[in-house]
Structure 1
């Protein structure tokens, strides 16, 4: 364990922004927290937890201590004829985990392929894509308390999972460090493909559903994401910047009269979810730039660093997009990305 001062966080944010933290520390085990807390200077400072920064917009340098969990071991903890339970270190790359599971013909994570970030970020954000969410397979989350190093375990029902949120993003933000996550996955003969996302269903339409494997779904998802989304390794971004807004039925019907082509998804409670990307496209922002930042020409939901942008440039852009959507539709777009 090394304590590094005035440390660049550019490798740990997918917007590729040049920001620094006062102190940076990588944690692998419980005793690391106890050791750090024994340092009176470090203990007196604010602590912040990050992963690979795939859902963060840094707008300034970070004071205090920035910690990352780098524990990345994977082990099978239980298995029966139908299921397998795996415990995974929070520091493992998410896509590496998904690749591992599909190579073993396990169902559950294949729809979440190519999402950047770490395993530890998955329950925090309740990551989701193409009809699947992390909460569908997570059974337990093991954490370390950043104040006293105490181990805590949260079962799925304790995590308060919601749309791109959880108890770790709300009540316990920067208080608990996720150390391990346990997933329950289905074996090949006891699961099936989740094809509720229409483009994914179409991509595999020439294969009988009973013949589809996790690897086939994985390959199709990777192809779709590469086609639709800019690669953060080539153009800095944090994926979907805004959440899809939900509006009540009366306002939905009013908007539909004016915009009959407006895509929508009816929720169980009678409200309607509207694609944020469509709203942004209608304001003319898709493919437009603002200084050194811009809205991706591939997907209107993705804000990008066009080269040399600062976090404040992207922050300014997201407010402009937000304002135009409010002006045109009366709908407030809430950022999915955490603004620091």
Structure 2
């Protein structure tokens, strides 16, 4: 454990925004927190928890202490003929975990391949893609209280998972550090491919469903993501900047009368989810720039750093896009990205 002052956070956010943290500390184990809290100066400052910053927009330097969990061990907790329970350190790269599981023919995480960030972010954000979400496989989340180091474990139902949210993003934001996550995965013969997402289904249509393996789905997901989303290592971005909005039936029918081709998905509670990317495209923002920031030409939900942008540049862009969509459709696009 090493305390670093006035430390650049550029390596820890995929927008590649160059801001600095007053103090930066990497935490590996429970005792690290207890040691840090014994320092009266550090204990008196605000603490903020980050992972790899794949869902964060920094708009200014960070006052206080920024902490990251670096614990990255993988351990099989138990297994039976059909399942395996895997406990994974929060600091492990998410895609590395997915690769580890598909190489062992375990079902559950393959649809979430190539999502940037760490394992610790998966329950916080309830990451999701191509018809799957983290909550589908998470059984337990082990956390450390950053005030006293106390270890607290939450079962799936206690995490209050929702659309790109959880109890760790709401009530316990910057209070609980995710340290370990346990996943229940299915062995090859006892699981099957989740092909609810049409482009993924089409990509694998030449193969009988019963012949598919997790690795085949994983490869198809990677191909789709690479064709549709900009690589954050080449062009700074945080993936989908906005959530797909959900509107009620009456308002959906009002919009449908004016826009008969509006894409939509009916939710279980009778509301309608509208693709945010389509709404942005209709305002003409796809592929357009605003100073050193812009809307990706590949996917309209993705805002990008065109080179040298500040966090405030991207913040200004998202607010303009938000306003234009609201003016045209009467729909408020809620950011998925955390603004700091």
Q: Structure 1 length normalisation: TM-score?
A: 1.00
Specify the alignment match of 1:244 in structure 2: 244
Show the counterpart of 2:324: 324
2:89 is the counterpart of 1:89:
yes
Q: Give the corresponding residue for 1:186.
A: 186
* Count of matched residue positions in the alignment of Structure 1 and Structure 2: 340
**CA shift digits 1:218-255 (9 cap, x unpaired):** 00000000000000000000000000000111110010
Partner of 1:136: 136
Written as runs of structure 1 = structure 2, the 5 A alignment for 1:281-296 is 281-296=281-296
Q: What is the CA-CA distance between 1:269 and the residue it aligns to?
A: 1.3
SS of 2:72 mapped into structure 1: coil
- For the residue of structure 2 that corresponds to 1:100, the secondary structure is helix
Aligned to 1:306: 306
* SS of the residue 2:51 aligns to: coil
| C-alpha distance after superposition, 1:45-86 (max 9, x if no partner) | 000000000000000000000000000000100000000000
Give the superposition deviation at 1:143: 0.5
Q: 2:152, 2:268 → 1: CA distance? A: 34
Match of 1:156 in 2: 156
CA distance in 2, matches of 1:317, 1:32: 39
TM-score (ref. length: structure 2): 1.00
Match of 1:3 in 2: 3
Report how far residue 270 of structure 1 moved.
Answer: 1.0
Partner of 2:275: 275
Please tell me whether residue 199 in structure 1 is matched to residue 212 in structure 2: no
Partner of 2:146: 146
Q: Given the alignment of the two structures, is residue 229 of structure 1 paired with residue 233 of structure 2, yes or no?
A: no
For residues 136-159 of structure 1, what are the alpha-carbon distances to aligned partners after superposition, in whole Å with 9 as ceiling and x for unaligned? 000000000001000000000000
Gaps of 5+ in 2: none
Say whether residues 1:105 and 2:83 are aligned partners: no
Q: Could you say which residue in structure 2 is the equivalent of 1:62?
A: 62
Give 1:334's aligned residue. 334
What does the per-residue CA deviation read over 1:4-42, in whole Å, with 9 as the maximum and x for residues that have no partner?
000000000000000000000000000000000000000
Distance between the aligned counterparts of 1:259 and 1:37, measured in 2? Answer: 57
- Residue number in structure 2 paired with 1:19: 19
Residue of structure 1 in register with 2:171 after alignment: 171
Equivalence for 1:254: 254
Partners of 2:75 and 2:262 in 1: CA distance: 46
* 1:205-230 deviation line (CA, Å, top 9, x unaligned): 00000000000000000000000000
Superposition map of 1:71-90 within 5 A: 71-90=71-90
What is the rounded CA distance, in whole Å, between the counterparts of 1:313 and 1:215 in structure 2?
A: 39
2:116 & 2:89 partners in 1: Cα distance? 16
Aligned to 1:126: 126
Give the Cα–Cα distance (whole angstroms) in 1 for the partners of residues 266 and 27 of structure 2. Answer: 43
Q: CA RMSD in A?
A: 0.3
Alpha-carbon distance, 1:268 to partner? 1.3
Q: Give CA deviations for 1:157-184 in whole Å, capped at 9, x if unaligned.
A: 0000000000000000000000000000
Q: Distance in 1 between matches of 2:292 and 2:197?
A: 34
